[in-house]
Structure 1
Amino acid sequence: MVDKRRMASLIKLGSRLEVKFSKLELLHQALIHTSYMNESKKCRYGDNERLEFLGDAVLDVVISEYLFRQFPSMPEGELTKARATIVCEQTLAQQAAQVGLGEHLMLGRGEQTSGGRERSSILADAFEAVIGAVYIDGGFSAVTEFIHRQFACQLEEIGAGQYNHDFKTLLQETVQRHTDGKVHYEVTAAQGPDHNKSFEVVVLVNGNPMGRGAGKTKKEAEQHAAKQALGKLSHGLQN
């Protein structure tokens, strides 16, 4: 059984997600990291990996169907690129952070002390697990509404054609246009086995960190870092 304190925390999170779970145990399990299971002998629930597996597949289908129906003239290659802006570690981690998922995660001591609650890969996996939990609890209609609501801004950007930019090139051009500065990327973390690595990158402009990004490849992480840096630079230039 989930204790009363944990149950209250889950109800609060459910409200933030705008989802009323009939089985809060599913949301509870979606937030159990493998590191917690490895250290806890009392936990009667499994970790969130199976729900993550399901959530990943459901997210892929829901976003694919949305794009297919909303953009009937968009070629397959463009549909794939558009979908990749949502079905990626960076976007999922951002959504997880936005709803405060990290504070509800159940982690092992090692993960807690090493910043696991803010780690992009853990947050992204947990968010996919939550999607899986919503699907099991409420069905396809409920999870479709949840995904459309959670990724409304990203879907709007796709509709405006803002998904297919080479942010690294745009950042380089912006820096050269307004300053004589240099752009440099540094890998700050590389985690996971060789077949499933996750990278975190920081982009430096004139030696100052301007953006951070994460992804399954260094190039993907660099693109996300460049996008964040562009947002900061654009805001600074407008002021």
Structure 2
Amino acid sequence: MAPDNLHLYQLAFTHTSYVRQNLKGNQETNERLEFLGDAILGAVIAEYLFKKYPYKDEGFLTEIRSRMVNRESLNSLAVKVGLHSLIKVDNISGVTRHKFINGNALEALVGAVYLDKGYKDTKDFILKKLVKPHFDLHQLTTTTSNFKSKLIEWAQGQNRSIRFEIVGQKQSGSTTEFTAAVVVDNDIIASGSGLSKKKAEQAAAEKSMEVLKSTGAILP
């Protein structure tokens, strides 16, 4: 699939730090493409899982999609396909060590393909070049990740106080969606939702681990 607009792809690999270091004035970076690509990637994978698992409920589909498009997963995928070697960053300040730059560039690439080729070609690119060659759906759907236990173990090891609070619930017909928050040392780290209190706490724990990893509090 040859590109029609090469500038879009060059932009997808231009991190904001590179612009600050090398260019003057109000220059474009990959952040807007990243925003667009995040939405397109999520939509394509949601549709793919919806069709592949016709008898699974919303909670199952949401969890598997989350495992596929979380920061850790996208960063690993970007490295696998070699995108990390194409990203323009400010090497002087050591931005290359920020691991999420790779996954963000992958999202920006998806955004570039979408603007250049449209939804159908982007969907084909995501499924044929990213999802099917690099995701083991059997492993994803059979492995249980107990993020709550991992987070509690981390907090105990760091002598930090931690608690899980149900901070909201929303009724829709016969279905109740709960929202849980993770509180570490009286600071709310992240919140998550689920169709049971347990699932909400797991979702909040998973998001909290991503936040703590991004700040260096938890090693990847």
* Distance in 2 (alpha carbons) for counterparts of 1:133 and 1:53: 11
Which whole-Å deviations, capped at 9, do the CAs of 1:151-203 have from their partners, x for residues lacking one? Answer: 22565425872354337969xxxxxxxxxxxxx79xxxxxxxx9999xxxxxx
Q: Aligned partner of 1:87: which letter? A: V
* Distance in 1 (alpha carbons) for counterparts of 2:189 and 2:149: 27
Q: Is the 8 A contact 1:59 1:147 kept in 2?
A: yes
The answer as to 2:119 corresponding to 1:128 is no
Task: Indicate the residue corresponding to 1:20 in structure 2.
Answer: 2
Q: Is the 8 A contact 1:131 1:143 kept in 2?
A: yes
Against the structure 1 CA distance between its residues 120 and 92, is the aligned structure 2 distance closer, same or farther, given a 3 Å change threshold? Answer: same
Task: Indicate the residue corresponding to 1:73 in structure 2.
Answer: 55
The structure with the largest helix share of the pair is 1
Report the Cα offset of residue 97 of structure 1.
0.8
Identity fraction in percent: 34
Task: Indicate the residue corresponding to 1:202 in structure 2.
Answer: none
Report the Cα offset of residue 114 of structure 1.
5.0
Q: Helix, strand or coil: the match of 1:151?
A: helix
Q: Helix, strand or coil: the match of 2:118?
A: helix
* Distance in 2 (alpha carbons) for counterparts of 1:153 and 1:168: 30
Report the Cα offset of residue 82 of structure 1.
0.5
Which whole-Å deviations, capped at 9, do the CAs of 1:30-87 have from their partners, x for residues lacking one? Answer: 0111111222335885100110000000011000001111111111111110000111
Q: Is the 8 A contact 2:77 2:134 kept in 1?
A: no
Report the Cα offset of residue 143 of structure 1.
1.0
* Distance in 1 (alpha carbons) for counterparts of 2:85 and 2:188: 29
Counterpart selection for 1:103 from 65, 68, 85: 85
* Distance in 2 (alpha carbons) for counterparts of 1:219 and 1:140: 29
* Distance in 2 (alpha carbons) for counterparts of 1:56 and 1:34: 17
Against the structure 1 CA distance between its residues 219 and 91, is the aligned structure 2 distance closer, same or farther, given a 3 Å change threshold? Answer: closer
The answer as to 2:42 corresponding to 1:63 is no
Give the RMSD, CA atoms, in angstroms.
Answer: 3.6
Report the Cα offset of residue 118 of structure 1.
4.7
Where do 5+ consecutive residues of structure 1 fail to align?
A: 1-18, 171-183, 186-193, 198-214, 223-228, 230-239
Report the Cα offset of residue 117 of structure 1.
3.0
Counterpart selection for 1:33 from 15, 39, 42: 15
Task: Indicate the residue corresponding to 2:131 in structure 1.
Answer: 151
* Distance in 2 (alpha carbons) for counterparts of 1:20 and 1:90: 29
Where do 5+ consecutive residues of structure 2 fail to align?
A: 151-156, 159-186, 191-205, 214-219
Report the Cα offset of residue 220 of structure 1.
7.6
- Give the TM-score of the pair, scaled to structure 1: 0.58
Q: Aligned partner of 1:84: which letter? A: S
